[in-house]
């Protein structure tokens, strides 16, 4: 990676969140021959906007375009500068330059992305062996302050849950009320009373009801819903 291609000292990290049907999952990379895990991230080229750089990185990792994306915090603590960790990653990839630009201090702009889990084919970057889904409750130890980045992303989701149609980006176009409740429970980290949740959602005027999802006995088939445009 040629340092002259990118802005100096500016990076981004992405918390890519999907819903597997029963829990939230996050995409995590494992760096080649290091046993080190990290959020997908990257750098901004001189000829592109920050948001465009993040979308480019997301497309490279997931294969998807038009992803729901939101910037939520900037991390600039001096403690995040850990050249020994970065040097280990570089050395494992055959780079031994002690003056390499990636060893400098970086300020990182954090984003969260909400995507349909079933649409993604994760792909690692040039420095990584893998990029795969991990349960939000069972993440591997992450480098730098990436665990704090994940925590802040989830808290931001919780804070926005009643103000934004977050479920729209984690569910297919049509879903059951149970699916929607499971998304809310996964984000909030707690169980919700079914009747109360259903009543509140129906009274919110956010949903459109469709035909039932017939998969067995007709009288037990749940209705399908979609978000109102």
Give per-residue pLDDT as tens, 92-151.
999 999 999 999 999 999 999 999 888 898 999 888 999 999 999 999 999 999 999 999
Residue 189 lies in a domain: yes
Asked whether residue 103 falls in the same domain as residue 188, the answer is: no
Integer Cα distance of 40 and 17 in angstroms: 12
For residue 185, what are the domain limits? 171-227
Alpha helices, H only, the chain: 50-62, 83-92, 146-160, 167-170, 177-188, 194-203
In the chain, pLDDT over 70 holds for what percent of residues?
96
Q: How many CA atoms lie within 13 A of 115 on its CB side?
A: 28
Instruction: Give the pLDDT confidence score for residue 206 in this predicted structure.
Output: 87
Is residue 163 predicted with pLDDT exceeding 80? no
Residue 166 lies in a domain: no
Asked whether residue 128 falls in the same domain as residue 180, the answer is: no
Instruction: Give the pLDDT confidence score for residue 219 in this predicted structure.
Output: 58
Is residue 7 predicted with pLDDT exceeding 60? yes
Is residue 218 predicted with pLDDT exceeding 60? no
**Rounded mean pLDDT, 26-48:** 96
| More confident call, 72 vs 173 | 72
In the chain, pLDDT over 90 holds for what percent of residues?
76
Residue 140 lies in a domain: yes
Could you say which of 160, 180, 209 is where a domain stops? 160
- Confidence band, pLDDT 50/70/90 cuts, at residue 161: confident
- Give Cβ neighbours of residue 79 (< 8 Å, ≥ 6 apart): 145
Asked whether residue 118 falls in the same domain as residue 215, the answer is: no
| More confident call, 164 vs 199 | 199
Could you say which of 160, 188, 205 is where a domain stops? 160
Using alpha carbons only, what angle is made at residue 21 by residues 222 and 41, rounded to the nearest 5 degrees? 145
Residue 62 lies in a domain: yes
Instruction: Give the pLDDT confidence score for residue 66 in this predicted structure.
Output: 84
**Rounded mean pLDDT, 155-164:** 85
Asked whether residue 99 falls in the same domain as residue 182, the answer is: no
Q: Which two tokens stand for residue 115?
A: 């995507």
Asked whether residue 46 falls in the same domain as residue 71, the answer is: yes
Could you say which of 133, 160, 187 is where a domain stops? 160
Residue 165 lies in a domain: no
**Rounded mean pLDDT, 31-59:** 96
Asked whether residue 99 falls in the same domain as residue 181, the answer is: no
Cα 38 versus chain centre, distance? 12
Question: 3-class secondary structure for 214-229?
Answer: CCCCHHHCCEEEEECC
**DSSP codes of every residue in 173-227:** SSEEHHHHHHHHHHHHTS---HHHHHHHHHHTT-EEEEEE--SS-GGGPPEEEEE
- Confidence band, pLDDT 50/70/90 cuts, at residue 166: confident
Asked whether residue 86 falls in the same domain as residue 140, the answer is: yes
Instruction: Give the pLDDT confidence score for residue 130 in this predicted structure.
Output: 95
- Residue 16 three-state SS: strand
Instruction: Give the pLDDT confidence score for residue 216 in this predicted structure.
Output: 58
CATH number, domain at 57? Answer: 3.90.79.10
Total count of domains within the chain: 2
């Amino acid at each position: 990676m040629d340092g002259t291609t990118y802005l100096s000292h500016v990076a981004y990290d992405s918390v890519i969140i999907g819903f597997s049907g029963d829990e939230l999952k996050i995409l995590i990379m494992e760096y080649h021959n290091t046993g080190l895990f990290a959020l997908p991230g990257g750098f901004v080229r001189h000829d592109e906007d920050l948001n465009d750089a993040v979308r480019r990185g997301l497309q490279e990792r997931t294969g998807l375009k038009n992803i729901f994306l939101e910037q939520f915090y900037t991390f600039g603590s001096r403690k995040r500068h850990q050249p020994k960790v970065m040097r280990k990653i570089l050395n494992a990839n055959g780079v031994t330059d002690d003056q390499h630009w990636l060893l400098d201090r970086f300020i990182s702009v954090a984003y969260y992305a909400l995507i349909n889990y079933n649409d993604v084919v994760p792909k690692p970057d040039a420095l990584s062996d893998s990029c795969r889904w991990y349960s939000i409750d069972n993440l591997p130890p992450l480098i730098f302050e990436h665990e704090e980045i994940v925590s802040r992303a989830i808290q931001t989701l919780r804070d926005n849950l009643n103000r934004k149609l977050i479920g729209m980006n984690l569910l297919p176009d049509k879903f059951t009320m149970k699916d929607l409740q499971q998304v809310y429970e996964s984000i909030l980290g707690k169980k919700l009373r079914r009747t109360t949740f259903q009543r509140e959602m129906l009274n919110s005027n956010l949903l459109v009801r469709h035909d039932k999802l017939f998969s067995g006995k007709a009288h037990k088939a749940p209705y399908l819903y979609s978000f109102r445009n």
